C-alpha cells in the first residue's frame, strides 16, 4: 500500500519535473517557435482534431499539479503513523520538499518553484489564519488575553530588539567577517524572525495535546505576534528606506504610533467584518447553498481590506473569525455550519501542506545560498536563547498578576515551542535587494532557523513533553452534570465577587455576557436561533442519544428482548423516580430518530407526550440536524434504489430531496418492508433453535408478549395487522403496561409452551400487509405510530452490532434502522394462520 | 476604626492557617466590604446580602447566600444555619475561593480541592443528609435555568433527571433491578467532577478595585 503510494507519488513528481522542464525549454525557445507552430497548424489543414495546447493551460495546470503532489505527499506521510508519531508531519513535509526541489532542480537547473511573498501572503496564509480564528476557543482566549497580549507584543518586540542588537554587537566585535549590514537592517532582520509561526506551532502542538491553558498561550501568541511582527517589519522597513541619518525622535514616535494604529486598526477591521458576516447570515435563509460562501469571501475581504488600508491583515482576519464564529454557528443551517467547518479545514490544512512543501523546495536553490557561519549560527543561538529569556522573564512578571500561575514546565514548553515558520520566510523574501545587500544571507538564515526549529525542535517536542510530564489535556467530553456544574460555577464566582465587592474578571465577563446577550445577540442572531442555543440542551440531547445507544448496546449484550422488558436500570429508574422519566427523555430521542419520516409526521406526534414535544421544539436545531442527516441517509439507502427509472434532479440552488407524494409513499413502503424484514430476521436471530434450551424463559416470554400485543394492536388499530410494531412498542418500554407485572403473570401461565410457533405469523405479516399498503394510503397513519418506536425493537439491537463503532450516533441509529435491502422483493412464504405449527425457517433468513 | 484594625490583625492571625494565600491587605479590603454590607454592624444578615444590587440577576442567588450562613462551611463539624454571621465566618466562606499558588504542594492542592468540592456539595445538599437527592438537584437546575426564559420548568426537570441518571450510570454501572439510586454522595460527586480542575478554577481575585479595572479594561476588539 505504501509502496504503491510512493510509486504513484514518484510518478507525479517525475511528471511535474518533466512538465516544468518542458515549459522551461519552451519558454527559452520563446515566441518564435510558438508563433510559427501556430501558423503552421492553421495553414496546414482545416480543423485539427486534437491539438496539444500546453501553454494554454500551463499555469493553472502546474498549480493544480503542485497541489496534487503536495497532497499525495501528505497522504503517503500520514499512511504510516509510526513515523509521524516520532517526526511531526510538518518536518516530513519539509523533507519531502527537499526531495521535490532536488528533482525540479535536476530537471530545470533553476528553481522554478519558489514561494513568492505574493503567493504566500495572498493565497496561502489567509485561510490558515481564518481557520485558526474561527475555531479559536473564545472564552479561553479572552480569559488569558492579558498574558497572550503580553507575550505577543512585548515578547515579540523583545525578541526582535535583542536579536538585532546582539547580532549587531557581534558584527561590531568581528564575529561575522565582512558584511554590509547596518544596525537598522539588523533590527529589520530581527523583527522578521522574531515571530513564532502559527502554522508551524499548530502543526506541532496539535500532536502533543498539552493542557488547554498552555495551548491557548502558545496558539494565541503565535497568531497575534504574526500581526505584530509584520507591523514591526513594516516600521523598520520604512526606517531602513529612510536611512539612518534622517531618523529622529519624531520619526520614532511616528513609528510607535503607527505600530498601535496598524495593530488595533487591523483588529477593528476584522471585528467590523465579523459583525457583517453575522448580520448577513441572519438573512440567508433562502440561499442556503451559498451561505457558507459568505464566510470565506468576507473573511478574505477582511484580510484584503486591512491590507489595502495598510493595517494588519493577519490580525484582521483572526478577529473576523473570532467574532463571527458564535453568530454564524447559530444563524446558519446546521449543514452550512458543517460545510463551513469542513471547508475551512480543507483550505487550511491544504495550504499548510503546501506551505511546508514550499519551504522545503525553496532550500534547493543554488543562487540563494550564501553561507556565513558566524551570522547563521549566532542567529540560531540568539533566537533560542532570547526566546527562553523572554518567556521566563515575562512569565515571571505575569505570575505576579495571574491567579493561576504558569508553572516552570509550562514555561519551558512555551519557550521551546517557539517555532519559526513560513511567515518569517515570506517576510525575508519581501526584503528589497537594492536596500539590503545581504538579502540572500538573511533568507538563508531564516530558512536555517525555520528548518532547525520545525524539524529538530518539532521532533524533540514530544519526548520533551513526555519527559517533563507536562499536564496533558483531558480528552474526555463534558458530561451533562459537568456542564451544569460549570454554569453553577460561573454564577457562583460572579456572586462571590459581587458579595466581596470586587470588580473582577468574572464580573467583567458577566457584564460582557449580559451586554452580548442583550444587544449583540439581538442584532446579530436570528430570533429562532437565539432561543435554542443553550449549551445545556445540546449536551442534554447528546446525552439522550448516548443513553439510547448504551441502552441498545446493553440489550445487544444480553442478546435478548427480555432485558428490555424486565430488569434494566433505566426502567428501574423510571420506577424509582416514578415521574414518567421515560415519557420525558426517551420519546425525545424517538421523535428525533423518527423524524426521518418528517414529511408524513402529521399523525405521528400524537403518541409523543407533550413534555417531549416541548423539548422537541426547543431542540429544533439539533433535531433538524439529525433529521437532515437521517433524511439523507434514508433516501440514499432507499429512494428508488435498484430501480431503472432513477430520477435524479439536479439543482444548483437546492440540495433538498424529492418530496413527491408517490416517492414518499414509496420510501415509506420500502422502509416498512425493510424494517419488517430486519425485524423478522432479528427474531430469528434471537431465537435460533439451538439456543432454545439455554434461554427458555426468554423465548416463552417473547411468545407471550407477542400474543398479547397482537390482541392489543388489533383492538387499537382496528384491523391493521402489523402487530410486529406493537411488539416493538411494548419492547420499547413506551407503554408501561406491557413490561410490568401482569405480563409476567401471563407468561407464567403460558409457561412450557414450545415457542417457535409464533414465527410463521411474523412471516405472514408482510405478505398480507404489503398489498394493502400499496393500495391504501390511509393505513399509513397508524403504522407510523409504530414506526416511532421501531428503533427500540430487537431488529435495531441486532443491526447495530457492526455499526456501533461509528462515531455519529444518530447516523448509526439510522443505519441500524435502514439496512440496504434490495433483496426484500422476494417476499416471505404464503400466509399461514397464527396458530399453525412451526414452519421451516423462512427462505430469506440466510440473506442476513 | 482603630479598634477595628486591631481586630482585623487578630482575625488575620487566627485565619492564617486556613487563609495562607490571602494577605492582610486583602483581608482589610474584605473587611471594608463587610462593613459596607452590614452598615457598620458587627454581623451581617441575609437581608444585607440580598440587598446587593449586582446579585439581583444571579439565578442561584439563594444558594450562594445560604452557603454563607451554612454552619457546615465553617469547618467546625456543626450543622444548621446561622441567622447572622460575623466577619470571621464571612472570611471563612470566602476562603473557599482562594487560588492555588506556585508554592502549593500536591497535598495542599488535594486538600484544597476537597474543600472546594465540599463547599459546592453543601450548596446542593440542602437538607444535609450527605447525599444530593434528585429533588435537591432539580431545584438547583431549575433555579439555574429560571432566568433563561425560554426553557421551561419541565425541561429543567428533565435535565436534572438526565444528569442524575448519568451520575448513577457512571458510578453504579451494574445496578440490580431493584436498586434505587439514592442520590449523589460526596464520593460520587468528587468522582464526577474530577475533570473540572476545581482547585485552579474555583477562585476569585481578592485585590483592590483599582488594579482590577486596569486589568479588565480590555474588551473584544
| Torsion-angle region of A53 (φ positive above 0: left; ψ -120 to 50: alpha; else: beta) | beta
How many angstroms away from the CA of B139 is the closest CA of chain A?
12
Give Cα separations from A82 to A38, A70, A77, A85, B185 (angstroms): 53, 20, 10, 5, 45
How many angstroms away from the CA of B177 is the closest CA of chain A?
5
The answer to whether B202 contacts A566, with C-beta atoms less than 8 Å apart, is no
Q: What percent of chain A has pLDDT over 90?
A: 9
C-alpha cell at B100: 492555588
How high is the ipTM of this complex?
A: 0.79
Compute the average pLDDT of residues B70-83: 74
**A364-368, A423-427, A636-640, B35-39: which has the minimum mean pLDDT?**
A636-640
How many contacts, defined by CB atoms under 8 Å, are there between A and B?
A: 202
How many angstroms away from the CA of A417 is the closest CA of chain B?
22
The answer to whether A502 contacts B55, with C-beta atoms less than 8 Å apart, is no
Give me the residue from A142, A543, A572 closest to B162, CB to CB: A543
Compute the average pLDDT of residues A235-261: 82
DSSP state at residue A356: H
C-alpha cell at A613: 414535544
Instruction: Give the nearest chain B residue to A580 (CA atoms).
Output: B158
Maximum distance among all alpha carbons in chain A?
Answer: 109
Residue A551 has a pLDDT of 66
In this model, does residue A315 exceed pLDDT 50? yes
C-alpha span between A800 and A545 (Å, rounded): 14
How many angstroms away from the CA of A615 is the closest CA of chain B?
7
Compute the average pLDDT of residues A94-115: 85
Buried b (16+ CB within 10 A) or exposed e, A81-109: eeeeeebbbbbbbbbbbbbbbbbbbebbe
**Confidence tier at B175 by pLDDT (50, 70, 90):** low
Higher pLDDT, B79 or A714: B79
**A250-264, A443-457, A541-555, B188-202: which has the minimum mean pLDDT?**
A541-555
**A548-552, A602-606, A768-772: which has the minimum mean pLDDT?**
A602-606
How many angstroms away from the CA of A512 is the closest CA of chain B?
9
In this model, does residue A301 exceed pLDDT 90? yes
**Confidence tier at A271 by pLDDT (50, 70, 90):** very high
Residue B152 has a pLDDT of 62
C-alpha span between A8 and A153 (Å, rounded): 46
A613 in reach of chain B (CB within 8 A) = no
**A342-346, A528-532, A588-592: which has the minimum mean pLDDT?**
A588-592
pLDDT in tens, A30-59: 444 444 444 444 455 678 888 888 888 988
Compute the average pLDDT of residues A354-383: 86
Contact A792, A732 (CB under 8 A): yes
Contacts of residue A584 in chain B, CB cutoff 8 Å?
154, 157-158, 161
C-alpha span between A726 and A787 (Å, rounded): 9
Contacts of residue B180 in chain A, CB cutoff 8 Å?
572, 576
A513 in reach of chain B (CB within 8 A) = no
Give me the residue from B169, B206, B215 closest to A401, CB to CB: B215
The answer to whether B99 contacts A399, with C-beta atoms less than 8 Å apart, is no
Residue spans of alpha helices (H) in A45-155:
54-79, 81-86, 89-108, 117-118, 125-134, 138-143, 145-149
Instruction: Give the nearest chain B residue to A211 (CA atoms).
Output: B197
Residue A489 has a pLDDT of 75
Give me the residue from A480, A497, A576 closest to B162, CB to CB: A480
Residue A539 has a pLDDT of 59
C-alpha span between A469 and A467 (Å, rounded): 5
Count how many Cα atoms sit within 13 Å of the Cα of residue A363 in the half-sphere of its side chain: 23
The answer to whether B161 contacts A584, with C-beta atoms less than 8 Å apart, is yes
C-alpha span between A253 and A244 (Å, rounded): 15
Strand B84-86 vs strand B43-45: parallel, antiparallel, or unpaired?
antiparallel
State the DSSP string of A494-552: HHHHHHHT---HHHHHHHHHHHIIIIIHHHHS-HHHHHT--HHHHHHHHHHHHHHHHHH
Give the DSSP H/E element, type plus range, for residue A398.
helix A373-401
pTM for the whole structure: 0.60
pLDDT in tens, B180-201: 667 777 787 777 777 666 666 6
Mean pLDDT of all residues in chain A? 67
Residue A648 has a pLDDT of 54
**A334-338, A433-437, A647-651, A694-698: which has the minimum mean pLDDT?**
A694-698
The answer to whether B212 contacts A503, with C-beta atoms less than 8 Å apart, is yes
Give me the residue from A550, A572, A585 closest to B179, CB to CB: A572
Instruction: Give the nearest chain A residue to B93 (CA atoms).
Output: A496
In this model, does residue A78 exceed pLDDT 90? no
Residue A269 has a pLDDT of 94
Instruction: Give the nearest chain B residue to A486 (CA atoms).
Output: B196
Amino acid at each position: 500500500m505504501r509502496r504503491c503510494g510512493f510509486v504513484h507519488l514518484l510518478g507525479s513528481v517525475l511528471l511535474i519535473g518533466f512538465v516544468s522542464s518542458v515549459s522551461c525549454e519552451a519558454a527559452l525557445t520563446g515566441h518564435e517557435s510558438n508563433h510559427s507552430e501556430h501558423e503552421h497548424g492553421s495553414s496546414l489543414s482545416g480543423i485539427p482534431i486534437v491539438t496539444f495546447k500546453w501553454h494554454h493551460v500551463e499555469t493553472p495546470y502546474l498549480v493544480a499539479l503542485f497541489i496534487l503532489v503536495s497532497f499525495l505527499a501528505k497522504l503517503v506521510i500520514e499512511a504510516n503513523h509510526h513515523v509521524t508519531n516520532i517526526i511531526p508531519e510538518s518536518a516530513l513535509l519539509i523533507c519531502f520538499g527537499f526531495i521535490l526541489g532536488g528533482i525540479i532542480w535536476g530537471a530545470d537547473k533553476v528553481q522554478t518553484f519558489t514561494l513568492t511573498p505574493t503567493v504566500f501572503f495572498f493565497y496561502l496564509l489567509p485561510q490558515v489564519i481564518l481557520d485558526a480564528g474561527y475555531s479559536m476557543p473564545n472564552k479561553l482566549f479572552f480569559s488569558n488575553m492579558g498574558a497572550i497580549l503580553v507575550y505577543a507584543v512585548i515578547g515579540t518586540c523583545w525578541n526582535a530588539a535583542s536579536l538585532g542588537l546582539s547580532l549587531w554587537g557581534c558584527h561590531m566585535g568581528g564575529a561575522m567577517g565582512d558584511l554590509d549590514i547596518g544596525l537598522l537592517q539588523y533590527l529589520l532582520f530581527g523583527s522578521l524572525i522574531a515571530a513564532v509561526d502559527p502554522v508551524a506551532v499548530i502543526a506541532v502542538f496539535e500532536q502533543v495535546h498539552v493542557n488547554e491553558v498552555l495551548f491557548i498561550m502558545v496558539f494565541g501568541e503565535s497568531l497575534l505576534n504574526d500581526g505584530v511582527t509584520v507591523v514591526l517589519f513594516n516600521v523598520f522597513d520604512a526606517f531602513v528606506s529612510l536611512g539612518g541619518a534622517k531618523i529622529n525622535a519624531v520619526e520614532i514616535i511616528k513609528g510607535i504610533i503607527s505600530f498601535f494604529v496598524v495593530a488595533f486598526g487591523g483588529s477593528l477591521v476584522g471585528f467590523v467584518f465579523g459583525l457583517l458576516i453575522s448580520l448577513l447570515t441572519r438573512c440567508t435563509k433562502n440561499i442556503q447553498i451559498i451561505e457558507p460562501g459568505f464566510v470565506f469571501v468576507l473573511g478574505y475581504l477582511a484580510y484584503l481590506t486591512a491590507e489595502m488600508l495598510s493595517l494588519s491583515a493577519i490580525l484582521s482576519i483572526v478577529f473576523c473569525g473570532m467574532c463571527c464564529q458564535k453568530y454564524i454557528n447559530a444563524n446558519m443551517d446546521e449543514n452550512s455550519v458543517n460545510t463551513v467547518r469542513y471547508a475551512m479545514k480543507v483550505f487550511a490544512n491544504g495550504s499548510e501542506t503546501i506551505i511546508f512543501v514550499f519551504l522545503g523546495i525553496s532550500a534547493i536553490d543554488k543562487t540563494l545560498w550564501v553561507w556565513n557561519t558566524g551570522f547563521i549560527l549566532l542567529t540560531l543561538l540568539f533566537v533560542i536563547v532570547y526566546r527562553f529569556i523572554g518567556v521566563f522573564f515575562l512569565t515571571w512578571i505575569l505570575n505576579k498578576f495571574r491567579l493561576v500561575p504558569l508553572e516552570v514546565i509550562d514555561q519551558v514548553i512555551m519557550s521551546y515551542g517557539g517555532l519559526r515558520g513560513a511567515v518569517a520566510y515570506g517576510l525575508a523574501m519581501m526584503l528589497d535587494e537594492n536596500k539590503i545587500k545581504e538579502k540572500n544571507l538573511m533568507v538563508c538564515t531564516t530558512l536555517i532557523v525555520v528548518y532547525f526549529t520545525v524539524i529538530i525542535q518539532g521532533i524533540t517536542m514530544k519526548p520533551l513533553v513526555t519527559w517533563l510530564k507536562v499536564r496533558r489535556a483531558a480528552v474526555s467530553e463534558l458530561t451533562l452534570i459537568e456542564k451544569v456544574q460549570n454554569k453553577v460555577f460561573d454564577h457562583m464566582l460572579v456572586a462571590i465577587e459581587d458579595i466581596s465587592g470586587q470588580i473582577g474578571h468574572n464580573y467583567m465577563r458577566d457584564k460582557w455576557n449580559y451586554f452580548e446577550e442583550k444587544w449583540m445577540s439581538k442584532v446579530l442572531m436570528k430570533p429562532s436561533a437565539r432561543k435554542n442555543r443553550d449549551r445545556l440542551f445540546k449536551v442534554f440531547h447528546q446525552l439522550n442519544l448516548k443513553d439510547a445507544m448504551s441502552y441498545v448496546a446493553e440489550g445487544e449484550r444480553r442478546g435478548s428482548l427480555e432485558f428490555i422488558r424486565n430488569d434494566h436500570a433505566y426502567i428501574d429508574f423510571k420506577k424509582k423516580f416514578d415521574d414518567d422519566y421515560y415519557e420525558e427523555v426517551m420519546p425525545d430521542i424517538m421523535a428525533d430518530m423518527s423524524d426521518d419520516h418528517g414529511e408524513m409526521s402529521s399523525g405521528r406526534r400524537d403518541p409523543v407526550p407533550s413534555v417531549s414535544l416541548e423539548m422537541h421544539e426547543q431542540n429544533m436545531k439539533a433535531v433538524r440536524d439529525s433529521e437532515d442527516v437521517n433524511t439523507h441517509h434514508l433516501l440514499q439507502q432507499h429512494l428508488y434504489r435498484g430501480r431503472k427509472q432513477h430520477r435524479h434532479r439536479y439543482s444548483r440552488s437546492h440540495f433538498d430531496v424529492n418530496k413527491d407524494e408517490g416517492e414518499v409513499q414509496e420510501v415509506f413502503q420500502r422502509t416498512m418492508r425493510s424494517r419488517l424484514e430486519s425485524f423478522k430476521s432479528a427474531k430469528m436471530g434471537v431465537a435460533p433453535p439451538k439456543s432454545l434450551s439455554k434461554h427458555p424463559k426468554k423465548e416463552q416470554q417473547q411468545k407471550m408478549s407477542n400474543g398479547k400485543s397482537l390482541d392489543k394492536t388489533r383492538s387499537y388499530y382496528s384491523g391493521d395487522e402489523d402487530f410486529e410494531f406493537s411488539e416493538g412498542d411494548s419492547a420499547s418500554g413506551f407503554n408501561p403496561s406491557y413490561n410490568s407485572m401482569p405480563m409476567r403473570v401471563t407468561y407464567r401461565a403460558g409457561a412450557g409452551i414450545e415457542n417457535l410457533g409464533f414465527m410463521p405469523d411474523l412471516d405472514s405479516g408482510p405478505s398480507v400487509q404489503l398489498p394493502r399498503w400499496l393500495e391504501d394510503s390511509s393505513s399509513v397513519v397508524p403504522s407510523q405510530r409504530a414506526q416511532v418506536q421501531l428503533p427500540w425493537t430487537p431488529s435495531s439491537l441486532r443491526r447495530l452490532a457492526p455499526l456501533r463503532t461509528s462515531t455519529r450516533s444518530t447516523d448509526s441509529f439510522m443505519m441500524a434502522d435502514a439496512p440496504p435491502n434490495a433483496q426484500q422483493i422476494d417476499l416471505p412464504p404464503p400466509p399461514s394462520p397464527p396458530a399453525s405449527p412451526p414452519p421451516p425457517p423462512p427462505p430469506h433468513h440466510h440473506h442476513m | 476604626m482603630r479598634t477595628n484594625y486591631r481586630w482585623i490583625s487578630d482575625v488575620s492571625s487566627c485565619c492564617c492557617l486556613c487563609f495562607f494565600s490571602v494577605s492582610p491587605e486583602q483581608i482589610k479590603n474584605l473587611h471594608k466590604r463587610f462593613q459596607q454590607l452590614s452598615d457598620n454592624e458587627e454581623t451581617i444578615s441575609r437581608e444585607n446580602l440580598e440587598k446587593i444590587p449586582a446579585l439581583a440577576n444571579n439565578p442561584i442567588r439563594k444558594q450562594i447566600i445560604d452557603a454563607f450562613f451554612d454552619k457546615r462551611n465553617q469547618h467546625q463539624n456543626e450543622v444548621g444555619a446561622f441567622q447572622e454571621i460575623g466577619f470571621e465566618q464571612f472570611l471563612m466562606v470566602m476562603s473557599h475561593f482562594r487560588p492555588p499558588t506556585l508554592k502549593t504542594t500536591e497535598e495542599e492542592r488535594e486538600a484544597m480541592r476537597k474543600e472546594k468540592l465540599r463547599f459546592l456539595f453543601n450548596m446542593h445538599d440542602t437538607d444535609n443528609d450527605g447525599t444530593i437527592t434528585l429533588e435537591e438537584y432539580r431545584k438547583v437546575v431549575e433555579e439555574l435555568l429560571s432566568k433563561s426564559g425560554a426553557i421551561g420548568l419541565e425541561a429543567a426537570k428533565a435535565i436534572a433527571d438526565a444528569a442524575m441518571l448519568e451520575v448513577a450510570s457512571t458510578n453504579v454501572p451494574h445496578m440490580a433491578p431493584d436498586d434505587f439510586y439514592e442520590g449523589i454522595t460526596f464520593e460520587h460527586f468528587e468522582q464526577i467532577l474530577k475533570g473540572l480542575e476545581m482547585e485552579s478554577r474555583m477562585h476569585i481575585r481578592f485585590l483592590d478595585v483599582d488594579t482590577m479595572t486596569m486589568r479588565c479594561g480590555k474588551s473584544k476588539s
